[in-house]
């Protein structure tokens, strides 16, 4: 309208158009909820009304219409920008925000190194930053030539890391058990075997991402397999004619295991990025920017409240993402309200409340089954560590329950977002794990079950030690348990 005025002056047509604009503009108030948005819109209407007054032309009422929630657009369910406890993968990188500076530091490390260790505590977002932050940037050409590199699907080591590496290198033969076994056995004796297979598969450099690298210490119990896998990765990044790259994620509470492997330790210490807690500005980006992409709005001051509740908390990211997912499920058209946030329990309690609500809705028999399943999946150590958070699905069929009963409970736990199914190359290889490893700390009920299991382990250990002492004493009666100790045993 300003351009029209510059060309034609204050014509009657121009003044009528301003009047019509103001009348239409007041109606937009029905769509504007945020105070800042309403303030800006009102200022704009008042400006044009003043133009009419200056031209001695009658101006219509400029007061914005009251906000009407029913006028807001409805967002398609499929556009959900939040993942709950799931890891952000490459296919969800458009919704991944807040880690740009960290990713930039990783790219800087990779300018001069072929190996990168992303280290951080459980729940710090290592997997997501690797798969949805770093890898997509490399694929866009963040490093010279990286746009053309070959990117294999990410892998986790599991019990047989060489076999799992073989499967991602040649997906067409991944279901061929004999082929996988043959490759794994040959590479166990010759670490260059798999490294050469990767090198010859493409004229371009390759990128291998090993997520949850700590599994070679907690899930793989065969030293020969562990050694072969480590040597294969190290041989790969030292092939001279191509810039092959290995990226791993590693839990910092299990880093002491790396010290036992000097060749690995040298690379690990040289090229490592530590996960830092997200700043409030980064948390705001992680909340607001995905919402903007799909037209989702938060009630005024709600984002500030969400950030205050999780800022500085060890489990801030899983707490935040799970809460955001539940808020999405409880949105009102395109709005997330403070009332919904508080009804769910806020940033620190939404996950625990949701898990408890699921558990309390079960029958007494199913509650017993759920406890057994979780204690089979999660293995606590006597020293308060969690050394495993997933198992083969078939291992859950020997906990004293019928297979169809177990499958029914598993389906409910997976649908409820507490467990995840990890597809194997065959049904027998399917694994079931925690939706997120931080669940053992965020959900008090599960933490209680694990503590009870630790107490039981300690009792068994004390009993075994006492039995050994009794045997070594020549079965002296004075070494036998008595009184309360005997009752406890």
- CA-atom Rg of the chain in angstroms: 29
Least confident of 82-86, 173-177, 206-210, 386-390: 386-390
Question: Options 1.10.3720.10, 3.40.50.300, 3.40.1710.10, 3.30.300.30; which CATH number does 99-274 get?
Answer: 3.40.50.300
CATH placement of domain 279-343: 1.10.8
Q: For residue 282, give every residue at least 6 positions away whose Cβ sits within 8 Å of its Cβ, in sequence order, or none.
A: 98, 99, 101
pLDDT of residue 145: 95
**Collapsing DSSP states into helix, strand and coil, what is residue 14?**
helix
Cα separation, 203 vs 244, in Å, equals 11
- Please give the residue that has the higher pLDDT: either 433 or 303: 303
| Mean predicted lDDT score pLDDT of the chain | 87
Assess whether pLDDT exceeds 80 at residue 27: yes
Instruction: Using a pLDDT cut of 70, give the percent of the chain over it.
Output: 88
pLDDT of residue 474: 55
H/E element holding 382? Answer: none
- Please give the residue that has the higher pLDDT: either 428 or 264: 264
Domain 361-489 of CATH type 1.10.10: yes
pLDDT of residue 365: 92
> Is-contact 90 131, C-beta < 8 A?
yes
Q: Which two tokens stand for residue 400?
A: 């004293």
Topology alike, domains 279-343 and 361-489:
no
DSSP for 186-219 reads HHHH-THHHHHHHHHT-SS-EEEEETTTTHHHHT
> Is-contact 373 410, C-beta < 8 A?
yes
For the stretch 339-360, pLDDT in tens is 999 999 998 889 899 999 999 9
Q: Which two tokens stand for residue 312?
A: 């500085």
Instruction: Using a pLDDT cut of 90, give the percent of the chain over it.
Output: 54
Assess whether pLDDT exceeds 60 at residue 481: no
**Collapsing DSSP states into helix, strand and coil, what is residue 56?**
coil
Cα separation, 203 vs 64, in Å, equals 63
For helices 161-169 and 192-200, give the axis angle rounded to 10 degrees: 10
Cα separation, 212 vs 323, in Å, equals 24
What's the rounded mean pLDDT across residues 293-314? 92
Give 157's pLDDT tier (boundaries 50, 70, 90). Answer: very high
pLDDT of residue 42: 86
For the chain, give the longest Cα–Cα distance. Answer: 114
pLDDT of residue 238: 96
Give 66's pLDDT tier (boundaries 50, 70, 90). Answer: confident
CA-nearest of 215, 239, 118 to 161 is 215
Cα separation, 321 vs 354, in Å, equals 14
pLDDT of residue 486: 46
Assess whether pLDDT exceeds 90 at residue 314: no
Q: Which two tokens stand for residue 283?
A: 């948390």
pLDDT of residue 72: 73
Cα separation, 273 vs 386, in Å, equals 23
- The domain spans of the chain are 2-71, 99-274, 279-343, 361-489
Assess whether pLDDT exceeds 80 at residue 77: yes
pLDDT of residue 242: 92
pLDDT of residue 6: 58
For the stretch 40-57, pLDDT in tens is 888 888 888 888 888 788
């Amino acid at each position: 309208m300003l351009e029209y005025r510059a060309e034609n002056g204050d014509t009657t047509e121009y003044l009528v158009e301003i009047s019509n604009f103001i009348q239409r503009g007041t109606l937009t108030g029905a769509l504007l909820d945020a105070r800042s948005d309403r303030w800006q819109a009102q200022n704009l209407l008042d400006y044009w009304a003043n133009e009419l007054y200056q031209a001695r032309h009658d101006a219509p009422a400029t007061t914005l219409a009251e906000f009407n929630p029913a006028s807001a657009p409805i967002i398609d369910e499929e556009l959900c920008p939040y993942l709950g406890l799931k890891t952000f993968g490459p296919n969800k990188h458009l919704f991944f925000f807040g880690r740009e500076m960290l990713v930039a530091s990783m790219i800087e490390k990779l300018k001069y190194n072929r190996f990168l260790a992303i280290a951080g505590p459980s729940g710090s977002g290592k997997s997501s930053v690797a798969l949805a932050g770093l890898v997509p940037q490399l694929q866009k050409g963040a490093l010279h030539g990286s746009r053309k590199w070959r990117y294999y699907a990410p892998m986790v080591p599991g019990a047989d890391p060489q076999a799992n590496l073989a499967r991602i290198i040649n997906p067409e033969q991944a279901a061929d058990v004999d082929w996988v076994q043959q490759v794994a056995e040959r590479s166990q004796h010759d670490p260059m075997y798999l490294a050469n297979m990767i090198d010859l598969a493409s004229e371009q450099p390759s990128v291998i991402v090993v997520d949850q690298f700590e599994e070679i210490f907690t899930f793989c119990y065969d030293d020969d397999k562990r050694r072969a896998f480590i040597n294969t990765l190290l041989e790969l990044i030292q092939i001279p004619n191509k810039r092959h790259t290995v990226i791993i994620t590693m839990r910092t509470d299990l880093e002491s295991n790396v010290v036992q492997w000097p060749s690995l330790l040298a690379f690990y210490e040289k090229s490592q990025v530590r996960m830092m807690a997200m700043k409030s500005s980064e948390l705001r980006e992680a909340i607001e920017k995905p919402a903007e992409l799909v037209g989702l709005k938060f009630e005024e001051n709600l984002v500030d409240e969400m950030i205050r509740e999780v800022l500085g908390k060890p489990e801030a990211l899983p707490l935040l993402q799970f809460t955001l997912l539940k808020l999405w499920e409880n949105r009102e058209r395109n709005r997330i309200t403070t009332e919904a946030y508080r009804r769910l329990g806020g940033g620190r309690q939404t996950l625990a409340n949701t898990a408890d609500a699921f558990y309390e809705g079960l029958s007494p028999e199913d509650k017993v089954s759920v406890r057994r399943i979780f204690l089979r999946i999660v293995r606590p150590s006597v020293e308060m560590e969690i050394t495993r958070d997933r198992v083969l699905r078939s291992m859950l069929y020997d906990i004293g329950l019928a297979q169809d009963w177990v499958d029914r409970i598993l389906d409910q736990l997976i649908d409820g977002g507490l467990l995840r199914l990890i597809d194997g190359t065959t049904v027998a290889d399917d694994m079931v794990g925690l939706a997120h490893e931080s669940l053992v700390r965020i959900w008090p009920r599960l933490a209680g079950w694990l503590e009870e299991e630790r107490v039981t382990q300690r009792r068994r250990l004390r009993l075994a030690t006492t039995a050994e002492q009794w045997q070594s004493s020549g079965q002296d009666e004075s070494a036998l348990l008595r009184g309360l100790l005997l009752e406890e045993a």
